[in-house]
Amino acid sequence: MIPFPRETELSSEQLPLPQSFTLVLPQTFEGLEAVLFRFQDFYEQQKAARPELFTAAPMKLRLLQMPRIAASHKDMHLISIEPPKITLSAKSMDGFRYAFSSLKQLIYLATSSPAGKLNCGRFIDYPSYDYRGLHLDESRHFFGMNTVKSYLDYMADLKLNYLHWHLSDDQGWRLESKRFPLLSEIAAWRKQQDGSRYGGFYTQDEIRELIAYAADLGITIVPEIDLPGHSLALLQAYPALGCEPHKYRSANSWGVFEYILCPGKDATMDFVKELLQEYCELFPGPYFHIGGDEVPKTVWKRCPDCQARMRQLNLQDYEALQGWFTDQLTGYLKEFGKKAIAWDEVLDGAVDKSLIAMLWRGDAIDAAKLAAANGNSYILCPNKICYLDWKPTADEDGAHGVSTVENVYSLSPQRYARPDLCLGLQANLWTEYVYNPQDLYHRLHPRAVALAERAWNPTGDYAGFASRLKALEDYFAALS
């Protein structure tokens, strides 16, 4: 199975696959309908592929609520395959979701084996990290509802539970705002180098639909609005938020651009606060990502409003100004009941230690030291390891370095400062050079599988992972 389970106890017995299951549920039980329907669909597909394997008799599939023992993990679950029934026991809904993901793989392995039978035994499992993330950039390229749903399906099968959704950048704003309608009318669009118009955005109804879809799968969406840098699309719609009067245009090329938001202007801070409030009401999850990466300070250095802000607050340098900006946003988010996440550049200035840092620069060793020194919790997604826009093999074309499956699998949280501050791991998929869902899946798979296993149980070894991945190759291919 992938991710590798904690405890496996196999018996020599094998169980023929039944024509159907009789579901036995606890009396008070709801919230798993979507998972059960998905399991049913999967089972019908398996039956259609090799109908001769399935015996006529139905089998009991029993779901049991585990007692709430404080000492064991909230998502602990047990799968017991013993004739004449299969029992899934869990403490939480997520525990049941994970048990069903595992059971699907076991059924797939049975139907693809020569005997066509389930191996009997017991599996006990729970995750090492509560944050197991996958990132998707939709500013550079916009993929739409169906692709995001497939992305979420894929995540669910790997027990990844946070989608970090990068919804704004220099090249486009992808999230409707009722309060600031120019974000979808203007900021969502860019003029391509050939003169054509490119863009799109999600309406708030679509966002609610995706949030509900994700929630059924046990996945929380973490929206990211990248501030104060990477904000040309925002400035195209609302130029007064910048330091200088300027005819801003969303970028149609890739890189870091000097025009950014002006933290010296009260109107900019008011705008950001109102916008965050609106989006916090839209997204129910506990986290909100405020960006903070790649912020050139060139325009701040010549802006009288930024200078005045620094004098007023007695800030010594421009990193401190970004630190102040970050702390203001962290404070707004706290008012709206959310925790702020930001890229690790924010640690170059002093920031509130309630902020969660997403460590990405280089191998993230130095960034972890900064987080540890300041006491910030962190999520690991080092550039050199977890960036899936990097080439999966050396012989492919591409703009970045190479990060193979084995390299992704090498991510080891224990190598980093204060591993107790590590909330989890994440792989990031930037889409400058990803043009369609096929490209997206090629970048994603199987490297996201390696990340998922490291985030679930980092005690496995690569050789074992590679052989399990091979056995499940067609299982994952069917998800694409």
Catalytic residue of the set 137, 169, 170, 327: 169
Cis peptide before 3 (omega within 30 of 0): yes
Residue recorded with tokens 């404070």: 331
> Of the residues 130, 278, 293, 294, which is catalytic?
294
Q: Which of 303, 346 has the CB closer to Zn ion?
A: 303
| Span of 183-191, 256-264, 427-435, 457-465 interacting with Zn ion by CB under 5 A | 256-264
Give least dist CB 260 to Zn ion, A: 9
- The Cα 266–Cα 335 span in angstroms is 18
Report the candidate in 443, 460, 458, 439 with the shortest Cα–Cα distance to residue 386.
Answer: 443
Task: Work out the number of other CB atoms within 10 angstroms of the CB of residue 32.
Answer: 18
Our finding on whether 363 is near Zn ion (CB under 5 A) is no
Report the nearest approach of Zn ion to the CB of residue 312 (Å).
13
CB nearer to Zn ion: give 264 or 392. Answer: 264
- The answer to whether residue 243 forms part of the interface with Zn ion (CB under 5 A) is yes
- As a whole number of Å, the CA-based R_g of the chain is 24
Size of the site for Zn ion (CB under 5 A): 6
Residue that is written with structure tokens 């050396």 in the block = 394
Part of the chain binding Zn ion (CB under 5 A), chosen from 157-165, 174-182, 261-269, 376-384: 261-269
Element (H, E) at 322: helix 318-335
Q: Per this entry, what is the length of the chain? A: 480
In the list 264, 323, 382, 392, the residue contacting Zn ion (rule: CB under 5 A) is: 264
Q: Write the interaction track for Zn ion spanning residues 132-161; mark x where CB under 5 A is met and - where it is not.
A: ------------------------------
Kindly tell me which of 305 and 432 has the beta carbon lying closer to Zn ion: 305
E-only strand ranges, 253-374: 287-291, 339-343, 356-359
Strands (E) in 192-307, as ranges, are 197-199, 220-227, 287-291
Residue 289 in contact with residue 224, Cβ under 8 Å?
yes
Q: Which among 230, 319, 327, 453 is annotated as catalytic? A: 230
Distance of CA 473 to the CA centre of its chain: 22
Binding mask 48-67 for Zn ion (x = CB under 5 A): --------------------
Least separation in angstroms between CB 302 and Zn ion? 9
Q: Catalytic: 319?
A: no
* Residue 242 interacting with Zn ion (CB under 5 A): no
The smaller minimum CB distance to Zn ion, of residues 299 and 372, is found at 299
Q: Between residues 138 and 327, which has the closer beta carbon with respect to Zn ion? A: 327
Is 289 considered catalytic here?
Answer: no
Taking the complex as a whole, the smallest distance from the CB of residue 250 to Zn ion amounts, in Å, to: 20
Question: Mind spelling out the 3-state secondary structure of 115-171?
Answer: CCEEEEEEEEECCCCCEEEEEEECCCCCCCHHHHHHHHHHHHHCCCCEEEEECEECC
Here's the x/- map for Zn ion, 296-315, by CB under 5 A: it reads as -------x-xx---------
**Residues whose CB falls within 8 Å of the CB of residue 219, separated by 6 or more in sequence, listed in order:** 152, 155, 156, 160, 161, 162, 163
Residue span binding Zn ion (CB under 5 A) among the ranges 39-47, 151-159, 197-205, 260-268: 260-268
CA dihedral 431, 144, 425, 155 (to 10 degrees): -130
Q: Which is nearer to Zn ion, 127 or 263 (CB)?
A: 263
Q: Which residues contact 163 (CB under 8 A, 6 or more apart)?
A: 133, 134, 135, 136, 151, 152, 155, 214, 219, 220, 221, 222
CB closer to Zn ion out of 242 and 382: 242
Active site residue 461: no
Using CB under 5 A, pick the residue from 175, 227, 262, 329 that binds Zn ion. Answer: 262
Would you name the residues annotated as active-site residues?
169, 230, 294
- The residues binding Zn ion (CB under 5 A) are 243, 262, 264, 303, 305-306
